[in-house]
Amino acid sequence: MIKDQSFASLGAHHSRARFFGQEQGQLAASPVLLELVNVSHSYGKIDALKGINLQIRGSEFIFLTGASGAGKSTLLNIISGELRPTFGNIVNGRENLFVTQVFQDLKLIENVSVLDNLRMANDPTIYRSDREFMNVLIEMGKVFGVYDAFNRRINSLNGGLKQKVAIMRALLPGPNLLVADEPTSSLDFESAKKLFDVLTYYNSKRTVSIVWASHNRELVRKFSGKMIHLEKGLLVHSGHACFI
Amino acid sequence: MFYLRFLWAQFKVMPGKFIVVIVLPWILVSILKMLPILSEKIGHSFSAKHPASYVNLVCSDDELAKFLKMKVQALPLIGKIEEYAIANIQNTINKTLSDLEIDSVHSDDLKKMVGLKIFFDQKVSEKEFELIKGHLGRLTMSMGPQSAPAQGAREIIWGPFVQSQRSQTYVDYLDWAIYGVVFSLLYLVWLLNFLSVKHLLVRSIYLIERYQRRLRVYPKVMLIFISLNLFVGSRLINKNIISSDLLHMRSEFMPILFYLAFMFCTTLATLELQRPWKKA
């Protein structure tokens, strides 16, 4: 089991961090949002996760990698509160921590429009009126390239558009932490890169912490930030991408 | 307001199914109200095949019949008492007297006579029947000659005591059995319709809880949904689309009871189904 190495790696790689819009020392100053302490989870006799220790800080962008069956989805579900770990503790670093998730199966309502799906995220604690929500929604729709499809039904969209809608829905309520389970699996590299850039923008400007699970090696290679690698339920690497 | 708007948005997705789910229980309850008629018919045919213990008696006048009926009802072991309908008195008494091979009754006296059929609630032995018979005889005597009709003394003519293993309460059990079967069938029909609506609601509520800072959305939506259901039901009653008797507990309480059972069972069932969706 390898402990979280974000602090150890930070000093050595601050120049790279600055390149991606993060000031030196920003990560160290960010408070801990969520801490997993010796978390394990098993499905019957199968151990999906074993003794995971992990800290997620404010404004942190974490890439989660690992082969199929390594425990990525389980870890994401535990972070998002979807699953309760069979062993270990989860400590919330702040009150009213709000976590949203981009599910692997997206969980969009197929027979209704994109707009109605996105309205699910009209959180009154964030938006004072429907108008305010719609303004943000339209702006985000244009950024994601979904604006023209607002009135189309989900079941008429291609996989890539569906994924964008799911990501938008997760971003709209202004979460503290966004957990995304392979959100670009239906996208080509260029589209995935664009989406990644948008999320990086939200991460840096809107201080949304993001945990992104991906198989996309090219994307991971371009990534600079914290990276976690899982193998057979064990956290085998944790630290800055360049360091790893 | 949010929850009403939420339900309206869900309604727009599958309006037909929502209407069926909201209106059908009330229509079903209206149908349930017709069941006593069916139950009575079946009960009569059942009674004809498997009669309860009973005895027929003929009272010399209406006053005596009413007096005895009142007194007999207070006795133990007695089930229901049937008084022969006025229109059928002549035929029934004639038949009874003919069965008893009594031909010497005067036709004017015959018109005054009233028949009673007394059903016993439980199995009654000959000895117990004799005690009842003696008691009724004494009661008849106790009415006194001063109030007796001018034509003659008051008297009772007893028919044969028919003994059966079956008690009268079987008829009541039958009522409940019929209600149970019909309720189960109707509930199944309603549940099948409800499941598709529920599926949409549960999914949407789950997403609301995931993407908005709201808690316990499910019970709140269910509460509003049931309230809406009752509101729509009362509107239907006001417009005389369904029976207004439903509002009064003096009518058979069973339809109301079964309606509440509808809601309760379904709420429980859906809560159970919703559990895996809950956040840890």
Q: What is the pLDDT of residues A186-197, one digit of tens each?
A: 778 888 888 888
Query: Which residues neighbour A80 within 8 Å (Cβ) at sequence distance 6 or greater?
Result: A99, A100, A101, A179
Interface of B with A in 200-239 (CB under 8 A): 200, 203-204, 206-208, 210-214
- Per CB-CB distance under 8 Å, the chain A contacts of B212 are 120-125, 173
Count other Cβ atoms within 10 Å, centred on residue B244. Answer: 12
Please give the pLDDT value at position B245.
Answer: 52
Range of the domain at A88: 6-240
In a domain, A1, yes or no: no
Give yes or no for a contact between B113 and B62, defined as CB atoms under 8 angstroms apart: no
Which residue of B8, B211, B214, B279 to mutate against A (max A Cβ within 10 Å)? Answer: B211
Q: Between chains, do B280 and A84 touch, taking CB under 8 Å as contact?
A: yes
The secondary structure element, H or E, covering residue A102 is strand A99-102
- Taking Cα atoms as reference points, which of A183, A239, A229, A236 lies closest to residue A60? A239
Confidence of residue A151 (pLDDT cuts 50, 70, 90): very high
Please give the pLDDT value at position A167.
Answer: 92
Residue A80, min C-alpha distance to chain B (Å): 9
**Distance, CA of B115 to CA of B89 (rounded, Å):** 7
Residue B201, min C-alpha distance to chain A (Å): 11
CATH tag, B52-165: 3.30.70
Mean pLDDT score, B112-139: 79
- Per CB-CB distance under 8 Å, the chain B contacts of A96 are 213
**Distance, CA of B36 to CA of B41 (rounded, Å):** 8
How many domains are there within chain A? 1
* Residues on chain A bordering chain B, Cβ-to-Cβ distance under 8 angstroms: 78, 81-84, 96, 98, 100-101, 107, 109, 111-112, 116, 119-125, 169-170, 172-173
Residue B251 has pLDDT above 50, yes or no: no
Q: Where are the alpha helices (DSSP H) in chain B?
A: 2-13, 15-33, 35-49, 62-73, 89-99, 107-112, 126-142, 169-211, 217-238, 254-274
Which residue of A77, A80, A120, A140 to mutate against B (max B Cβ within 10 Å)? Answer: A120
Q: Between chains, do B207 and A109 touch, taking CB under 8 Å as contact?
A: yes
Please give the pLDDT value at position A179.
Answer: 92
Which residue among B200, B208, B213 places its CB closest to the CB of A120? B208
Which residue among B9, B212, B279 places its CB closest to the CB of A123? B212
Residue A24 has pLDDT above 50, yes or no: no
**Distance, CA of B259 to CA of B183 (rounded, Å):** 9
Of A204-213, B158-167, B270-279, the least confident: B270-279
Please give the pLDDT value at position B275.
Answer: 41
- Per CB-CB distance under 8 Å, the chain B contacts of A172 are 211
CATH of the domain at A155: 3.40.50.300
Residue A27, min C-alpha distance to chain B (Å): 26
Which residue among A81, A120, A124 places its CB closest to the CB of B207? A120
In a domain, A122, yes or no: yes
- Per CB-CB distance under 8 Å, the chain B contacts of A169 are 211
Which residue among B200, B206, B280 places its CB closest to the CB of A83? B280
- Taking Cα atoms as reference points, which of B133, B126, B124, B125 lies closest to residue B56? B133
Q: Where in chain B is the domain with CATH 3.30.70?
A: 52-165
Q: Between chains, do B212 and A101 touch, taking CB under 8 Å as contact?
A: no
Average pLDDT along chain A: 81
Q: Between chains, do B212 and A84 touch, taking CB under 8 Å as contact?
A: no
Residue B223, min C-alpha distance to chain A (Å): 20
Provide the residue type at A123 as one letter. D
Q: Is residue B199 less than 8 Å (CB to CB) from chain A?
A: no
In a domain, A100, yes or no: yes
Of A186-200, A226-240, B35-49, B247-261, the least confident: B247-261
Residue A9 has pLDDT above 50, yes or no: no
Burial track A123-146 (b if 16+ CB lie within 10 A, e otherwise): beebbeeeeebbebbeebbebbeb
Please give the pLDDT value at position B139.
Answer: 81
Of A43-52, A141-150, A193-202, the least confident: A193-202
Provide the residue type at B147 as one letter. S
Residue A10, min C-alpha distance to chain B (Å): 33
Burial track B48-64 (b if 16+ CB lie within 10 A, e otherwise): eeeebbbbbbbbbbebb
Please give the pLDDT value at position A19.
Answer: 32
Q: Between chains, do B280 and A101 touch, taking CB under 8 Å as contact?
A: no
Q: Between chains, do A81 and B279 touch, taking CB under 8 Å as contact?
A: yes
Q: Between chains, do A124 and B211 touch, taking CB under 8 Å as contact?
A: no
Residue B206, min C-alpha distance to chain A (Å): 10
Please give the pLDDT value at position B110.
Answer: 65
Please give the pLDDT value at position B136.
Answer: 82
